[in-house]
Amino acid sequence: MTTAYDTVVYPSMVFEKTHPDRLRALAQIHGVAAPEVATARVLEVAGGDGLNLIALAAAYPGMACQGFDLAETAVARGQALIAAAGLTNVELQVCDILDACERYPAGSFDYIIAHGVYAWVPESVRAAIMALIGHALAPDGVAFVSYNAMPGGYIRMMMRDMLLHALDGTEGTEEKIAIAHQCLELFSKPQDDDTAVVTALRRQAERMLEASESVLLHDELGGVFAPQRLTDVVAEAGKHGLTFLTDDSGVRVNLDGFVPDGVAPEGDLDKLVVRAAQATDYATVRFFRQSLFVRSAHKLLRVFDPQTLDGLWMSCSPQKEEDGSYRIGRSTFRINDDEMVRMIDIVSAHSPERFSFAEKVRDEGRRLTLLHLFGRGYIRFHHGPVPYSLSAGDRPKLSPLIRAMLDQGYENVATLDHKLMDIEQDELKALLLAADGTRTLAEIAALPGLPFPAEHVGPALEAAARRALLV
């Protein structure tokens, strides 16, 4: 069966927020002791070429990873990458979501990832995704489901309708892309008499122009585009014994899984947090959700308990501004607590190292501050140190996955901290490929024909270790 993703290749990606280490931390904060990450059983639903899953398997040899997709060519690319990297703990298969429950045993996965599929498939397939999660999720497991959300979806649907109208009768892929870009470029130009609604639509057009051609075709102009209300997604999950844990989109400072500040924690708290989260979606015109689900048997913590941070580790890497504030991307934040400032500065200065903070931060107010920083994405919580080498050592060894990706000509490589990185310089590629675990630093530096200054070999490989490239 040939799919649209066989015809136009979707870019290979990794998604940090799907990482089981993060899902486990979010579960712990809400009172669920999710399974150990290093030995977790992970399923990815409709993951394309599976790079997101393959990157997890490369970082955690003890994981058991399985994934499937309907696009045969995508699965074949992923299988080739797995073979080239020599990974034995990850498997990709061609499978239809409608048939997946028959393939996987009940309760067989600790973490299930369904990223970027739920709002792009027919209603019957959406129901099958939730049925699969309800069937295959372990008792203490966590599922991640992302989707275009309402009410921001209305804006995207208006833009989609405009483009589909412009593309009416157009057959060729290249012609479709050219017409869509022309339409978006023309529409994105502001006019003097723009209303607030038109301004919002023009901004969406600008964002769509920034996307790659394949993302534009599949995400915006695909056969199905069905943004979802949180309440509807939660209701569908409830049919299969699942309940909403929280969301990992960083909109509300203390996470959607907790009762909002100023609201009395009374009655059915699960319903209360979902209703409050849906109200926030309308108030903020939310476009996208990354919702987590667990078994309905769990009695979730809906009011933050500072003790739930016990055992967690922290990492962060904000930029310190001259005025004492911190910057991450376009966002800035300030901490008005000297002790907390010192801790953030120390952790940031040693990034990507992780620090166990439980014994150092016992004050409830400071723990609440950490929760807020985590909720907004300014710091990260973990369950232990990094799963890779922070030093080159005497015989540095490049991640087998990165080696395979460089050999196969990938534009980006998947690092061991679950990010994508451009490695453009041929000299650096040659140096990294020379780090195969059999040579000392001195032997690498002495390699004939290595297009890299010998005196820079050690520092460069130390930097590679800090960038999560070495096992």
CATH number for the segment(s) 4-150+227-295: 3.40.50.150
CB of 316 closer than 8 Å to CB of 377: no
Using alpha carbons, list the distances in angstroms from residue 183 to 39, 235, 454: 49, 38, 53
> Average pLDDT of 57-80?
97
C-alpha 269/C-alpha 231 separation (Å) is 14
pLDDT tens digits for 101-160?
999 999 999 999 999 999 999 999 999 999 999 999 999 999 999 999 999 999 999 999
| CB neighbour list of residue 355: distance below 8 Å, 6 or more residues apart | 313, 314, 315, 346, 347
Q: What is the pLDDT of residue 250?
A: 66
Q: Do 447 and 440 form a contact (C-beta atoms < 8 A)? A: no
Mean pLDDT calculated for residue range 419-442:
95
Q: Alpha-carbon distance 211 to 229, whole Å? A: 24
Q: What is the pTM of this model?
A: 0.95
Percent of the chain clearing pLDDT 90 (strictly above) = 88
> For residue 293, what are the β-bridge partners?
143, 244
Q: 111 has which bridge partners?
A: 42, 142
Is the pLDDT at 330 greater than 90? The verdict is no
* pLDDT score recorded for residue 128: 98
Does residue 252 have a pLDDT over 70?
Answer: no
Highest mean pLDDT among 125-134, 335-344, 363-372, 450-459: 125-134
The answer to whether residue 43 scores a pLDDT higher than 80 is yes
Q: Which amino acid is at 370?
A: L
- Confirm if 356 and 347 have CB atoms less than 8 A apart: no
Asked whether residue 10 carries a pLDDT value surpassing 90, the answer given is no
CA distances from 168 to 58, 157, 202 (A): 44, 16, 21
What percentage of the chain reaches a pLDDT higher than 70? Answer: 99
CB 406 within 8 A of CB 433: yes
pLDDT higher than threshold 90 for residue 357: no
Q: Is the dihedral of CA 231, 233, 234, 238 positive or negative?
A: positive
Q: What tokens appear for 117 in the block?
A: 């599929």
Asked if the model's pLDDT at residue 183 lies above 90, the reply is yes
**Residue ranges covered by each domain of the chain:** 4-150+227-295, 152-220, 310-382, 400-466
pLDDT at position 253: 61
Mean per-residue pLDDT of the chain? 94
What are the φ/ψ torsions at residue 90 (nearest 5 degrees)? -140, 140
- Omega of the bond leading into 61 within 30 degrees of 0 (cis): no
For range 388-397, the mean pLDDT: 96
Q: Is the pLDDT of residue 359 over 90?
A: no
Contact of 183 with 175, CB cutoff 8 Å: no
- What is the mean pLDDT of the segment spanning 352-364? 89
